[in-house]
A and B are shown apart, each in its own frame.
Chain A
Amino acid sequence: MKPSAAHRLDARWLLPALLLLVLTLAVVASGLGFIAVSPGQVLRVVAARLPGLEEMARGLDQLVPHVVWEVRLPRILTAAAVGAGLAMSGAVFQGILQNPLADPYTLGVSSGAAFGASLCLLLGLDFWGAYSVCLMAFLGASLTLLAVIWLSSVDGQASPHNLILSGVIVAAILSAGIGLIKYLADEQVAVIIFWLMGSLVSKGWLDLGLTLGAGLLGLVVFMYHARDLNLLCLGARAAASLGVQTKRVRLTLLITASLVSAVCVAVSGIIGFVGLLIPHLMRALVGPDHRLLLPASACAGALLLLGADTITRAALPHEVPIGVLTAIIGGPFFCYVFRRRQMGRVHA
């Protein structure tokens, strides 16, 4: 049977359902861990933060509000926000680059962030406390993006093909640089490697604020341009002849998506496959229209990373770096989806 639009899910209930799932999982996950807390207690801790409802927390063990509000919730919500940001920017990159295999890291953004972070750890830079690494990662990602755009822009047009090629070249150079840093780092090398594998351990409200702020800004910019992005999927020539300011739209989306993913990487380290896998799955479920695909990807990305983080934090005997976990789960799953799609095409 040939695939058609009839196989798509109705976004009217899928989006609210995904959102509800994210919230439910966040509440349940906040209760899981070394100290078990019931979902009801979690809700009471949250409610007690609202003005006029302070007495909701009365009668709880005083450890419970601390564990839930200060330790678990910021980390859990940061995981969700990072997942949403990576998935959303993945969908945008795939659209602008007209390549369903692009992801937030295709343009070397991750390598830039990793290089910045490694350099910071190597030199022991400490100008903004714990957030120095984060800031250096963000700087590295932004500079890399500028270099990639500059490299690929001939006569003011950065074609998808040139962008991907430049991204690969710059990433390769930066990887060599990271290798050199690791070699020079001696006993610091473990810290660098651990950061590179991605982690959401001890994320606080500031991390959440940064990620959520970037993510919401991204969502607004992306949704404003969602229809233009649909047209860009038809090719730049067609989009331009249909009234899209291709150059401006592409650059705006490219920079916004890179900033969103740079903030995610800066906060959590390298977490792969979310930005590749989620837009793919969502495209199969709701179709390629970015007006639905972007919010659906954001919700599903949040769900995936929140779930993965909960597994490493509460279910496994030892905490596994989350970037390793998403690659171990996501990689084979992606192979399965990819293979099935290829087979489907052969038999169609």
Chain B
Amino acid sequence: MPETPVFRIAGLRFAYGPTPVLLGLDLELMPGRFYGIVGPNGCGKTTLLDLMVGTRPPASGVIAFMGRGLEDYTRRALAKSLALVPQEMPMGFPFTVRETVLMGRHPHIPRFAAPSETDLAKVEQALAQLELTALADKLVPELSGGERQRVVLARALAQDTPVLLMDEPTSHLDISHALAVLRVAEDLVREQGRTVVAVMHDLNLAAAFCDHLVFIKQGRLHAAGPTVEVLQSGSLQEVFGVKAKVGWDDFAGSRVVIFQKPGGLT
């Protein structure tokens, strides 16, 4: 029997009022892989994640999660299997880092119950994985942008779901923390068999960590497949309209992308 895809998306359409964003997108994501979603600004990546996590209903098309229609899940049931790391993190309220990460356990804790030993242990584990243990009692509004982004990631780790969606998880991080965070995500996939789907802007980070890439252009799937096959200078030219050289690098241990300034060499 073939493996059930984590996500099976067919003919997905969505528009904000009169502005179409997704124009019939088809995509299949298999379990145990680290997917990178790449594409130019405004191509519908964040909208796609919104639809995949069920916070917006599609205009038309089908999204099946683990073999069942997304609309058949209750919010709570879905939250036990699927976590989202959103891009924005409004934090006007002085919760501590630990309190915020504990909120990741929300779907696992009954409404009027106190967190169990397991819940608290998962929180400590997530804090340790993202090197936040020393900051655990700090208030989130006092943290730097990068520290906050790690808090949001830790919250998703504490949610302990087989599938994680991430919207540009490293956009506020310096290179050292970006590498560390993606390493944590990679371990979730390699060692625990989870599925990670991350919208990525940095193509070199995507090349280094994602085993599969999904190229989206103007609301449609442009190409999808193993990184070694689809990350080519031709596809970068077609999707982003940039001149790039792509090749294997032994030092990086992955494919690397080098860009040329627009207008060529001067």
Contact = CB atoms under 8 A, between A and B. Distances in A.
B224 interface: no
A242 B137 contact: no
Given A3-B94, A283-B94, A287-B95, A243 B106 contact: yes
Interface stretch (A19-27, A198-206, A233-241): A233-241
B202 interface: no
B84 A288 contact: no
B159 interface: yes
Contacts of B90: 98, 233-235
Contact of B139 (A4, A100, A240): A4
Contacts of B251: none
Which secondary structure characterizes the binding site on chain B? mixed
Contacts of A231: 103, 106
A348 interface: yes
B106 A227 contact: yes
A6 interface: yes
A243 B91 contact: no
A290 B213 CA distance: 42
Given A2-B138, A235-B86, A235-B89, A242 B94 contact: no
B70 to A, nearest CB: 13
Contacts of B152: 238
A154 B17 CA distance: 9
A237 B88 contact: yes
Contact of B99 (A224, A242, A289): A289
Interface in B62-96: 75-76, 78-80, 82-84, 86, 88-96
A240 B70 CA distance: 14
A231 to B, nearest CB: 6
Interface in B96-113: 96, 98-100, 103-104, 106-107, 111
A123 interface: no
B26 interface: no
Interface in A1-47: 2-6
Given A98-B92, A100-B93, A241 B106 contact: no
Interface residues of B, number: 38
A6 B138 CA distance: 9
Contacts of A219: none
A127 B54 CA distance: 50
A233 B141 CA distance: 12
Nearest to A225: B111
B53 interface: yes
B75 A238 contact: no
Nearest to A223: B112
Nearest to A237: B86
A3 B75 contact: no
A98 to B, nearest CB: 6
B100 A234 contact: yes
Given A234-B89, A242-B107, 18 more contacts: A3-B94, A3-B139, A5-B98, A95-B93, A98-B90, A233-B90, A234-B155, A237-B84, A237-B88, A238-B155, A240-B55, A241-B84, A241-B86, A243-B75, A244-B75, A287-B95, A289-B95, A289-B99
21 contacts: A2-B138, A95-B93, A98-B92, A234-B91, A235-B90, A237-B86, A238-B89, A238-B152, A238-B155, A241-B83, A242-B103, A243-B78, A243-B80, A243-B107, A244-B106, A245-B75, A246-B55, A283-B93, A284-B94, A287-B99, A288-B93
Q: Which 8 A-B pairs have the closest CB atoms?
A: A243-B79, A241-B84, A243-B107, A243-B76, A288-B93, A240-B55, A5-B96, A237-B86
